[in-house]
Amino acid sequence: MKTVVWQSLSDNQQESLLERPAITDGRNISRTVSDVIDDVRQRGDQALLELTEKFDGIRPASLKVSADEVKAASSRLSDDMKAALKQAYKNIATFHKAQKPATLRVETQPGVVCEQITRPIQSVGLYIPGGSAPLPSTVLMLGVPAQIAGCQEVVLCSPPPIADEILYVAELCGITDIYNVGGAQAIAAMAYGTRTVTKVDKIFGPGNAYVTEAKRQVSNDFRGAAIDMPAGPSEVLVIADSSADPDFIAADLLSQAEHGPDSQVILVTPDPSIADRTADAIQKQLKALSRADIARQALGSSILIVADSLTQCVSISNHYGPEHLIVQTRHPRELVSQLTNAGSIFLGSWSPESVGDYASGTNHVLPTYGYTRTYSSLGLADFSKRMTVQELTAEGLAELAPTVVTIAEAEGLDAHKRAVTIRVEKLTAQSQRIK
């Protein structure tokens, strides 16, 4: 890790220090993925079975995971594990239930009522990556909001063998459409459907470069599926003042660094000694980690920034727009109103990132790679959509008519005007008959 003093840098150096490394495509991934998608669209289940054998080294007896297998998985888990997953489920459900919007109803002028209502997205697909360890927390973060939003069809795909923890959480979330398929082929199956796998409207979840590229491709095809958000390497930025505990900061930076060699890890502090002591603590803690190699690689491109004030720390953080933002200062709450770009914010000494990753109740699917400028932390809203409704009384329309007619004339849209005047004329005729 390198330590830099922010004020000693030129504008350009500051800019490039916070610049994210370009994700090297390339062209090869894009081509490989489009071949996989074409294959799945043409050969369906057969392609899924063959690609799974090729990439995951397993030919599952059946693409679909049976209810018996889910039951068996649950029976194999320890009570502690089940209790932990249930507690996390409960907190995440509590927070996401609170996100249910009320119907909005406004009478904008007499007789003109406008409403905003929401509906669940009917069918959603959840992608859960495989890899060296299972990711039941990702099932929680996608499955809980899908369940609370009321999505009618929820499909889950994950490369086999699917871990017991994943199947158990799927059961908690009421998911029964579970498939032994991963990678770009899983995304293709959910976007276009096969004989076995249900086609979905929107696909959620993290994944490797192939999964990310597949999501991008299917979301660019109107016959494909929408996706949650663009993906990028995971990130944390810690703002700490002299009151912070360097051991805690180091632990938080390391818990980001162990995610992957491309993880972005940044400390910003107005106190040079905090930067020094954090660097020492990192070296000490690193020794005890099983994923120390990965963390070390990530730390290679990480930075400790010494700023001249907390205000400058905030402005650096807003400029960078981290996925995770940890604020370990004397009065963290006071900074919140100044924070503009971040995925999820962790306040104070007792709020490490890992509580949000698993169990505080917030969602761990967050915009990263600078997308915090425009994208939201995943929430209930992403599993539903807003529609508007308007209902005018005859009097309301008569009152609004001149406005609509005048603008329609300016826009040269006769029939738009006519749709109003034909009604007002009938109204006038009616009221004259009554007289």
The only residue of 8, 80, 195, 432 in contact with a copy of itself, by rule CB under 8 A: 80
Please report which helix (H) or strand (E) contains residue 4, including its range: strand 2-5
Q: Which is nearer to a copy of itself, 70 or 139 (CB)?
A: 139
Closest CA to 191 of 48, 65, 51: 48
Minimum CB distance to a copy of itself, residue 82 (Å): 10
- Is residue 94 a contact point for a copy of itself (CB under 8 A)? yes
Catalytic annotation present for 364:
no
Name the one range near a copy of itself by CB under 8 A: 50-58, 171-179, 267-275, 286-294: 286-294
Q: Is residue 86 within 8 Å of residue 172, measured between CB atoms?
A: yes
> Is 324 annotated among the ligand-binding residues?
yes
Residue 316 to residue 318: CA distance in whole angstroms: 6
Q: Please tell me whether residue 5 binds a copy of itself under the rule CB under 8 A.
A: no
Which residue in the list 323, 364, 399, 409 is annotated as catalytic?
323
The distance from CA 431 to its chain's CA centroid, rounded to whole angstroms, is 56
Of 165, 171, 213, 324, the catalytic one is 324
In the block, tokens 């990192």 appear at 282
Residue 208 marked ligand-binding: yes
358 binds a copy of itself (CB under 8 A): yes
Is 324 assigned a catalytic role? yes
319 part of the interface to a copy of itself, by CB under 8 A:
no
Q: Give the 3-state secondary structure percentages of the chain, helix then strand then coil, rounded to 5.
A: 50, 15, 35
Burial class (CB in 10 A: 0-12, 13-18, 19+), 390: exposed
The DSSP secondary structure of 342-394, one letter per residue, reads -SEEEESTT--HHHHHHTSSS-S----TTGGGT-PPP-GGGGEEEEEEEEE-H
Which CB, 210 or 371, lies closer to a copy of itself?
371
- Distance (Å, whole) CA 110 – CA 125: 44
Nearer to a copy of itself, 57 or 350 (CB): 350
Choice between 63 and 143, CB closer to a copy of itself: 143
Show contacts with a copy of itself in window 128-187 (CB under 8 A).
Answer: 132-137, 165
* Position among 5, 15, 23, 38 found at the interface with a copy of itself (CB under 8 A): 23
The verdict on 375 binding a copy of itself (CB under 8 A) reads yes
Among 33, 32, 34, 47, residue whose Cα is nearest residue 194: 47
Binding residues for substrate are: 234, 256, 259, 324, 357, 411, 416
Kindly list the catalytic residues. 323-324
